[in-house]
Amino acid sequence: MDLTRFELTPNGKWALLELARPAELNVLDETALAELDLILDKLEAERIKVVVITGQGRAFAAGADVSTMAQYDAKTAEEFSRFGNGVFQKIEDHPAIFIAAVNGFTLGGGCELALACDFRFASTKASFGQPEINLGIIPGFGGTQRLPRIIGPAKAKEWILTGRRYSAEEAHEVGLVSRVVEPDHLLAETKAFAEELVTKSGPILALAKRAINSSVGMGGEDIPLEANLFGQCFATRDGPEGLKAFLEKRSPNFEDR
């Protein structure tokens, strides 16, 4: 498999999956989503039990590709959201257990990728956020659905409606992160946890994951609504203005329409 956005390293029954464009802060563009979709199929075919996802460089993933999104209309935006949502839903529904080793910036679509994983271990240098509101849009890869389930509706509204950035310790306090460790120990501790899990039965891990997800309504039934609302952002004046302002490195001039 020829990969340009990821590096995949099998380790017996578990695998290390790295977002591999550190110069671009591991931005999630359409190519990255398409590669991830294929990788997920490969991991299932090879019966990998556990997957550790991390980012190379100083970011886990800094979000989706704003320069491309700035060209979208409402229909294209909804299609992009549906595609990204579908890929992230495959992680949630996947028989493997996914552990996000969050090493740095984890924003927007990058935060949503971490949300789709089963566990999140964070470096003390990691930061989290859903800053889409500052761009005149909303999260489009499942953030409005998964974040409330994990940290509760009130806290999720605070995160999404303010667009603030939160430290690893703050993310741990609200239950988003399982462990916070020093940067030099992040991968070692995450790998040790992966190696503990692979001693269990693969089919039983998958069944347990499926049972737990069903108990908290993580079936993706509200994902199409989020994609539609994400698309509607691009039919407003403020959505395109927010994206353009971000690219031009200025404050947006929102007109409330």
DSSP 133-181: GGGT----SSHHHHHHHHH-HHHHHHHHHH--EEEHHHHHHTTS-SEEE
Give the span between the Cα atoms of 123 and 121, in whole angstroms.
Answer: 7
Q: Max alpha carbon distance in the chain (Å)?
A: 56
132 is catalytic: yes
Catalytic residue from among 132, 158, 195, 248: 132
Closest listed residue to residue 62, CA positions, set 97, 14, 95, 27: 27
Residue 36 to residues 13, 33, 91, 236, Cα–Cα distance (Å): 19, 5, 10, 31
Task: Please check whether residue 53 is in contact with residue 99, taking contact to mean a CB–CB distance below 8 angstroms.
Answer: yes
Q: Which of 18, 92, 112, 226 is catalytic?
A: 112
- First-to-final CA distance of the chain: 45
Residues 37, 94 contacting (CB under 8 angstroms):
no
Q: Is 18 a catalytic residue?
A: no
Three-state DSSP at 132 gives helix
Catalytic positions, written as ranges: 112, 132
